[in-house]
Structure 1
């Protein structure tokens, strides 16, 4: 038996279309461009491995004009490599060969190679989500918009059975956002519904602590990225004095050297970190962050970043392999009119893998 295998690689762009105007701190999203990667190999006849490279506009460090050329160049280089059959060694090679400046491509290659290695069934690594049908608890995401639009989303999520709700804040008047939180707390206490908020860096450093004091009245689980990333000293002071646990999100983007990761965690000492594999460089990079966080008693959860079901499935299986203890941010599978059919399903605030359902024929996309 061969000790290694080589691949033929290609990609195709795919434009995902939102079912609604998705409000974010970086504007309203109506479409999301992503790229599917396909790998085939003579050592795995009749099968193909698929991954997704989908940088987020305005946020990913590989959101760049020459992204498609960079992707083509990386795939060309991948065709020259003899890959071992061991997952750990594949991860080492990708960390060496795919620049940290191209995190979504590294994640897409990890996914495609692991899929190919495991028979092209969209199965990546041992995990109870796929292997045993064990669901992953997830938070219900409330998109930015006017007060009525946000309130309508909240009602829908609660009716669907979510007991963890995450609101994106910072787009409307702060008092109106507090009114939305108050309306939930009038009906459900913190033991019945967990509330998270995501400020996406919207608060000014000078008044962030005061706003967190107001938000604390609503018994929040956490607030993501209250001030802009890159202000380690101000963020550290906030984390030491905050009445609401702080979760770092954008703060982690672009940080890749182990020493710098350690310094960030030690100087800021957040209560939580949030991991988006597409933005951080994939599975291996996310594992490194988690190991460092856990050694410092920092909590974590994993969030998808508007991938199609191809990327979401990979992130969900990776998440499940870690046996998460809190709801994860993986509720993005129903955002699009033209997502790929998959066994992924959301029910009652949980994400399931239903093996009886089939995947779209991804070969037809190429």
Structure 2
């Protein structure tokens, strides 16, 4: 019968200027995929091709022409009957150098396999029986804006917050961390920080030394990626546990993944399925990390609720430890309405709520 692919571009608008050490984000592009079997257009799966400027390996790709080519490939394919066969199909038709497309196509095909009901993985999360504890993300900005976000998260019941650092004055950031710890000691609040590679190699160890006072759970990507010797030294010398994040982007083969973790020896790795190449690639990273006794958690990367839903369901299939880095679905003015909701510090799938994507027009 063949598989029919349709797609549409959806530009997400932030509710506020989202500050990172790489600059301020106001909008975010996504391509929504719709896949169905020829002759049966009423049952379809949706997926999301999600990239972030200056971060995604395939950000500069002409997605429209790539997806047009993918249409032709899929027209010759049948829908696999098993999850592993879907991963094989995606691997065959989408290059590893297109991680965002792999993520989107895996999601759409898994959705279609399960009847086109946004059930990407059949587990307790989808059936509203299990929530996932997440960290509350604090965006960079003026001190008062950051303090306001922190207070709001703590009132909502978050027991783990993640603070982006590296964009404003480091002394001011340390003052914020000091304020948090003065209000909430480490046994009451888990505190993570994410530098997004903002520290320079010459003074990173001095800065990490200053951060010791704040009882941090971890710091993500203190220096820019692709400096393996420097990062290995940071992991060895730092008393603050190091988590690799951007370091994993663009590393595709199992051998390269294994060597990277073996050489650098981080305490944790952070996995963003839309950036590392989808669920099969993420599962491979987890397997390698666990074999080397490293911790991990999964993080969304500014996807719409279509991508976020898939990542949540994938995450729920693991016996993970601690808080995940999943989004709340509340960043965008024009997000796709979904059953995802926040209850206390958990993201849940509320089966009493419905999806609404009527505004999407597929070509």
Residue 331 of structure 2 is aligned with which of 330, 335, 338?
335
Q: Distance in 1 between matches of 2:83 and 2:321?
A: 25
Q: Secondary structure at the match of 2:269?
A: strand
Residue 55 of structure 2 is aligned with which of 47, 59, 79?
59
- 1:106 match: 102
Q: Distance in 2 between matches of 1:146 and 1:363?
A: 35
Q: Secondary structure at the match of 1:128?
A: coil
Residue 27 of structure 1 is aligned with which of 23, 27, 34?
23
- 2:206 match: 210
Q: Say whether the 8 Å CA contact 2:128–2:349 is kept in structure 1.
A: no
Deviations 1:191-245 (A, max 9, x none): 1110000000111112111111111110000000000100111111111111111
- Report the TM-score when normalising by structure 1: 0.96
Matches within 5 A, 1:1-366: 6-42=2-38, 46-362=42-358, 364-366=360-362
Structure 1: 5+ residue stretches without partners = none
Q: Say whether the 8 Å CA contact 2:5–2:34 is kept in structure 1.
A: yes
Deviations 1:167-205 (A, max 9, x none): 000011111101101101111111111000000011111
Deviations 1:2-61 (A, max 9, x none): xxx631001100011110010112211111110100011147562110000011111111
Please state how far the C-alpha of 1:76 moved relative to its aligned partner.
2.5
Q: Distance in 2 between matches of 1:361 and 1:259?
A: 40
Please state how far the C-alpha of 1:72 moved relative to its aligned partner.
2.1
Please state how far the C-alpha of 1:362 moved relative to its aligned partner.
4.9
Structure 2: 5+ residue stretches without partners = none
Please state how far the C-alpha of 1:65 moved relative to its aligned partner.
4.7
Q: Secondary structure at the match of 1:74?
A: helix
Q: Distance in 2 between matches of 1:41 and 1:58?
A: 35
Q: Say whether the 8 Å CA contact 1:306–1:332 is kept in structure 2.
A: no
Are the structure 2 counterparts of residues 149 and 331 from structure 1 closer, same or farther at C-alpha, using a change threshold of 3 Å?
A: same
Are the structure 2 counterparts of residues 298 and 43 from structure 1 closer, same or farther at C-alpha, using a change threshold of 3 Å?
A: farther
Q: Secondary structure at the match of 1:358?
A: coil
Paired residues, number: 362
Once superposed, which parts of structure 1, at least 4 consecutive aligned residues long, lie more than 2 Å away? 42-46, 361-366
Deviations 1:231-264 (A, max 9, x none): 1111111111111110000000000011111110
Q: Distance in 2 between matches of 1:20 and 1:197?
A: 21
Deviations 1:142-183 (A, max 9, x none): 111111111111111111111101000001111110110110
Q: Distance in 1 between matches of 2:200 and 2:165?
A: 14
Q: Say whether the 8 Å CA contact 2:37–2:79 is kept in structure 1.
A: no
Q: Secondary structure at the match of 2:125?
A: helix
Are the structure 2 counterparts of residues 83 and 212 from structure 1 closer, same or farther at C-alpha, using a change threshold of 3 Å?
A: same
- Report the TM-score when normalising by structure 2: 0.97
Q: Say whether the 8 Å CA contact 2:128–2:350 is kept in structure 1.
A: no
Q: Secondary structure at the match of 2:202?
A: helix
Q: Distance in 1 between matches of 2:35 and 2:307?
A: 15
